[in-house]
Structure 1
Amino acid sequence: MENTVAELVFIPAPAVGHIMSTVEMAKVLVKCDQRLLVTVLLMNPPFSILALTTYIESLAKNTRERIRFVQVPQQQTPSKLDPKAPFTSFTEFINSHCKSVRNILKDMIDQTGSSMVVGLVVDISCTGMIDVANEFNLPTYVYFTSNAAFLGFKLHFETLYVDQNQDLIELANSEAEIVIPSFVNPIPMKVFPDSYQKQDGLDFLICAIGRMRKAKGIMVNTFLELETHAVKSFSGINFPPVYPVGPVLNLDGLTGIANESDVFSWLDSQPPSSVVLLCFGSTGGFDEAQVKEIARGLEQSGHRFVWSLRRLPPPEQSFQVLPDDYDDPRVVLPDGFLERTSRIGRVIGWAPQVSLLAHEAVGGFVSHCGWNSMLESLWFGVPTATLPMYWEQQMNAFEMVVELGLAIDLKLDYKMNVLNSEGNVVIVTAEEIERGISQLMENKEVRAKVKEMSKMSRATVAKGGSSYSSVGYILKEIMTNII
């Protein structure tokens, strides 16, 4: 602590994946520069999710080496997320914390001690905090928890609107393909995020990118060897420098693995790379009709499996309540499924995904294609079959399958109606599930490419690697702010 001279303030969005990734990024920075201290400001979510609130409170009670956590007081009673305008209401919620953040920053700056505040690092959902930083003449950096190609998509759409006065609603709801500089291939609208097909989502995108232009640098959770084209697409344009600093992963789950639990004991007895893991993130769950199709597809494929099966909350509580475990999964599974597959599979509730991907018996991953999950699968050299659900996951799947050839297309454009119940319910059939799993477990070319990318993902964060160097560049820039 006595050598600490610079303090960075991180402001993540109040979501588990964003907070975890932000904390890991903070760990990377303080490990690389002993002079740095990080304070992470934590906001409780605008809706009551016990698991998330408990997680935030647990962080706030702890201090890691040169990383401390501070909960931001809520100035007003949080309103519920408006399903008709989720981005607008979420932005208003984040900005309602500006006064508290301003007070915290003032206290930190006024304190005399061994460190000085040298900047803010904000999530893309928290770019309104840039104005607060400007009040104190503090530079702001953005930590982008998704990938470079998706950041390029956002930038391109903001440019179309601001510079070319393009009707984005008409474009987003068309059947066209669009050329985006950060992608090699034209993007079909079937993988376009639903959230940006409405004015609410597009307004958020345009505002967030406009504010990001005021930042001094953008840290992206990716690496040059993975997204070479996307990263290079930011060169020579009117946008802050983009630093690929990933993969930034939370691998804490690898310590203290519950090897005595049934699923790990069972995995220990399976051949290497023979088991397919089905896991769909902290918000991933399916209705009964889709569960039955997945079960039939799994059984018909004949492959060994571990399936993390979660129960969806009622539609009116989507994204206010996380999926939960079934008391008895038999209520949604086909009759006799558990008995017939007892020798080749395990159905579990919540899954320690990192620990499962790390197990040598796991050789395939059916995923919702959240970016953290994609990076984890590459790190452990486990190929993915794509079953995206919402937000940017369809674009992640498109990049992994079409752009990079690192995944199998199980259902590239599968979408769930997350924030409303309008529209037709799409079912991924048992035949599609069976075909995708068989290709996933038997495609040697994709498997070899993923193994090679696994080596690159580990080399890039080691001393001398491209992401290691990129972190050095951003730290050098941050440290120039010391007066």
Structure 2
Amino acid sequence: MADAKLLFIPTPGLGHLVAMVEMAKLIVDRDPRLSVTVLLMKYPFDSDVDSYTNSLATSGASPRLCFVHLPRDNDDSQSSSAHFLTNFVESNKPRVKRAVAELADSAGSTGRLAGFVLDMFCTTMIDLADEFGVPSYVLFTSSAAFLGMMLHLQSLQDEHHVDITEYKDSAAELDFPSLTNPLPAKVLPGLVLLKETVRPFLGHAKRMRAAKGIIINTFDELEPYALKSLAGLGAPAVYPLGPILNLKGETKTKACGGRQGNDIMEWLDKQPPSSVVFLCFGSMGSLGEEQVKEMACALERSGHRFLWSLRQAPPKDKVWFPSDIVDPTEALPEGFLDRTATIGKVIGWAPQVAVLAHPAIGGFVSHCGWNSALESIRFGVAMATLPLYGEQQFNAFELVVELGLAVEIKMDYQRHPRRDPRLESDFVVTADVIEGGIKKLMEEVDSDRRKKVNEASEKSRMAVIEGGSSYLSLGCLIEDILNNMP
């Protein structure tokens, strides 16, 4: 019987939520002394996250892994605010506290409360852990290099009184302890460039310093330099456990009973090995009308086979989550689908893991979300970068310049889900630039980049098996949890 209970608190963003659930599975599968309860906060609006969370109750996971669905706050009046996520987490604190109190009361028969594992955007919940007298750990769902950037910027702001927002529109190149190359200021995340968001965002870095440990979705062999730098930046104990990926199932169930996913895989089965370029921009990513046309023109001119996940941007009064396009002919250049019918397929939602694992895929044009980057590395698929928002510009820089695993299309392109005009790029990446990136991605078969991707793929597989670096790191984390429980 499990005698130590961990509470996991993710934010409802799909990339964050899936990583935390997969990590919970790793922990309960590894040590029978631990059980995990995941507290699921719900956005006030319907989203792709709902179908995933609803599926968790029937996922057949370990009996030592359970999910508590917290009540949904239906007030979405602030959903377009720059402070939406901060306010959302704060508003859920009372619900979380009640749920933890109930679990703590019932823990006598099922094990002691051992600690909180918090999403990187839920660091203010450390206060609740302190109230219950248990340690906190933070799951950082981006790279070690990005964590180093956050810690460094927070130190510059709070200890050296540097105004980080002055780097907006700057051509400067900045040195960071977690990077071996200078970082162009233009690829800093938008949240650190606006006065109303920089302090809440970097506040998470400050709070992370007070955690018992930081769990990072990366692995030693991918980011050795960045991981070594973190102790000097004031980070607590760091546990790289990655790649933490959902490799067994898709996170979205289609109303058509999976038929769309089957159609995609059947089409890929008919394509030659490594011949298809896959284009997909994440659960929150979509392109503007003019950018879609430039992308289509580039694909047609490149002559390469393609699978394109094309999503409809949300209306201006809604935020974040795009939807499948009902009629792609309205968004694409006239005659495009007919002219490319023999080499291409335009889809809506994509079963991304299954696609990247398919032998027909030869390259991935990606928004550079960290989970997508890890999936691409895991399956040995080289990337071309077209980041949209968040830390994706930073990730693109790391993948292209630091790690040499990707081709640049455009590293500083910005298209934010909230469409904040202060952060949006006012340019469109032209078909010529995109075509050049696709050709470089697909035609440099024996390049050093391909070799590095294949090496990183093998190392990512080895990291998580028994005796691998992430496997050993997970063992250290579990021992730390058991040794520090009250």
The residue type equivalent to 1:369 in the other structure is C
Aligned residue number for residue 90 of structure 2: 95
**Deviation at 1:179?**
0.6
Aligned pair partner of 1:213 in 182, 195, 209: 209
Aligned partner letter, 1:431? D
**Correspondence for 1:231 among 227, 244, 248:** 227
Q: Could you tell which deviates more after superposition, 106-115 or 121-130?
A: 106-115
Aligned to 2:264: 263
What secondary structure does 1:113 align onto? helix
Paired amino acid for 2:436: R
User: Equivalent residue for 2:99?
Assistant: 104
Q: Is the 8 A contact 1:386 1:412 kept in 2?
A: yes
Give the deviation of 1:325 after TM superposition: 1.4
Equivalent of 2:45, from 40, 48, 58?
A: 48
CA distance in 2, matches of 1:102, 1:265: 48
| Residue in 2 that maps onto 1:342 | 341
For residue 190 of structure 1, the aligned residue among 173, 186, 195 is: 186
- Determine the C-alpha separation between the residues in 2 that align with 1:269 and 1:317: 39
Give the Å deviation of 1:58. Answer: 3.5
Alignment partner, residue 420 of structure 1: 419
CA-CA distance at 1:138 after TM superposition: 0.6
Question: Residue deviations 1:332-376, cap 9 Å, x none?
Answer: 111111111111111111110100001001010000000000000
What is the TM-score with the length of structure 1 in the denominator?
0.94
Deviation at 1:329, TM superposition (A): 0.5
Tell me how far apart the structure 2 counterparts of residues 225 and 80 of structure 1 sit (CA, whole Å). Answer: 44
What secondary structure sits across from 1:388 in the alignment? coil
Residue 296 of structure 2 corresponds to residue 299 of structure 1: no
Unpaired segments ≥5 residues, structure 2: 252-256
* Cα contact 2:192–2:202 (8 A) shared by 1: no
In structure 2, the CA distance between the partners of 1:96 and 1:441, relative to structure 1 (3 Å rule), is same
Residue 26, structure 1, aligned to residue 24, structure 2: yes
Which whole-Å CA distance do the structure 1 matches of 2:76 and 2:184 have between them? 36
Q: Aligned partners of 1:50 and 1:82: how far apart in 2? A: 12
For 2:274 and 2:87, locate their aligned partners in 1 and report how far apart those are by CA, in whole Å. Answer: 47
| Correspondence for 1:385 | 384
Q: Aligned residue for 2:287?
A: 286
In structure 2, C-alpha distance between the alignment counterparts of 1:189 and 1:260, rounded to whole Å? 40
Does residue 476 (structure 1) correspond to residue 479 (structure 2)? The answer is: yes
Aligned pairs for 1:35-434 (under 5 A) are: 35-45=33-43, 47-60=44-57, 64-65=61-62, 66-73=64-71, 78-81=75-78, 83=80, 85-86=81-82, 88-111=83-106, 112-253=108-249, 261-319=262-320, 322-420=321-419, 422=421, 425-434=426-435
Between the two proteins, what is the percent identity of the paired residues? 48
Q: State the Cα distance separating 1:240 from its structure 2 match.
A: 0.8
- Structure 1's unaligned 5+ residue stretches are none
Question: Does structure 1 residue 437 correspond to structure 2 residue 438?
Answer: yes
Equivalent AA in structure 1 for residue 68 of structure 2: V
- For 1:439 and 1:222, locate their aligned partners in 2 and report how far apart those are by CA, in whole Å: 27
Moved more, 414-423 or 363-372: 414-423
Shift of 1:106: 1.9
Structure 1 residues 317 and 445 mapped into 2: Cα distance closer, same or farther (>3 Å)?
A: same
Per-residue displacement from partner, 1:57-114 (whole Å, max 9, x unpaired)? Answer: 343566621110002235x65343354x52x332122112222222222222222213
Which residue identity lines up with residue 479 of structure 1 in the other structure? L
User: In 1, distance between residues paired with 2:48 and 2:471?
Assistant: 33
Give 1:28's aligned amino acid: L
Q: Which stretch of the first structure deviates more once superposed, 172-181 or 358-367?
A: 172-181
Aligned residues: 475
Contact 2:148 2:178 in 1 (8 A): yes
Residues 407, 9 of structure 1: alpha-carbon distance in 2 compared, 3 angstrom cutoff: same
Change (3 A) 1:266 1:418: closer
2:254 alignment partner in structure 1? none
Of stretches 222-231 and 233-242 in structure 1, the one that deviates more from structure 2 is 233-242
Closer, same or farther: CA 268–61 of 1 in aligned 2, 3 Å: closer
Query: Which amino acid counterpart does residue 476 of structure 2 have in structure 1?
Result: Y
Deviates more, 1:198-207 or 1:287-296: 198-207
**Alpha-carbon contact 1:176-1:188 (below 8 Å) kept:** yes
Give the 3-state SS of the residue equivalent to 2:176 in structure 1. Answer: coil
Q: CA deviation at 1:424?
A: 5.4
Cα distance in 1 between the residues matched to 2:450 and 2:160: 42
1:171-223 Cα deviation digits (max 9, x unpaired):
34432111111111111011111222102221112321121111000000000
Bigger mean CA offset, 97-106 vs 406-415: 97-106
- Structure 1, 251-260 or 383-392: larger mean CA deviation: 251-260
Larger mean Cα displacement after TM superposition, 262-271 or 433-442: 262-271
Alpha-carbon distance between aligned partners in 1 of 2:96 and 2:452, rounded to the nearest angstrom = 45
CA distance in 2, matches of 1:230, 1:424: 29
Q: 1:289 to 1:479 in 2, by over 3 A?
A: same
**Alignment check: 8 A CA contact 2:296 2:336 kept:** yes
- The alpha-carbon deviation at position 276 of structure 1 amounts to 0.5
Which AA in structure 2 matches 1:148? A
Counterparts in 2 of 1:403 and 1:199: CA distance versus 1, 3 Å: same
Change (3 A) 1:313 1:82: closer
Indicate conservation of the 8 Å contact 2:146/2:394, yes or no.
Answer: yes
Distance 2:71 2:478 in 1: 30
| d(CA) in 1 for partners of 2:77, 2:18 | 24
> How big is each residue's C-alpha offset from its partner over 1:367-390, in whole Å with a ceiling of 9 and x where there is no partner?
000000000000000000000001
- Opposite residue 187 of structure 1, the aligned amino acid is L
Name the aligned partner's letter for residue 390 of structure 1: Y
Change (3 A) 1:448 1:27: same
Partners of 1:315 and 1:421 within 8 A in 2? no
Distance (Å, rounded) in 1 between the aligned partners of 2:324 and 2:31: 42
CA distance in 1, matches of 2:440, 2:479: 46
Query: Following the alignment from structure 2 to structure 1, what is the Cα–Cα distance between the partners of residues 310 and 158?
Result: 44
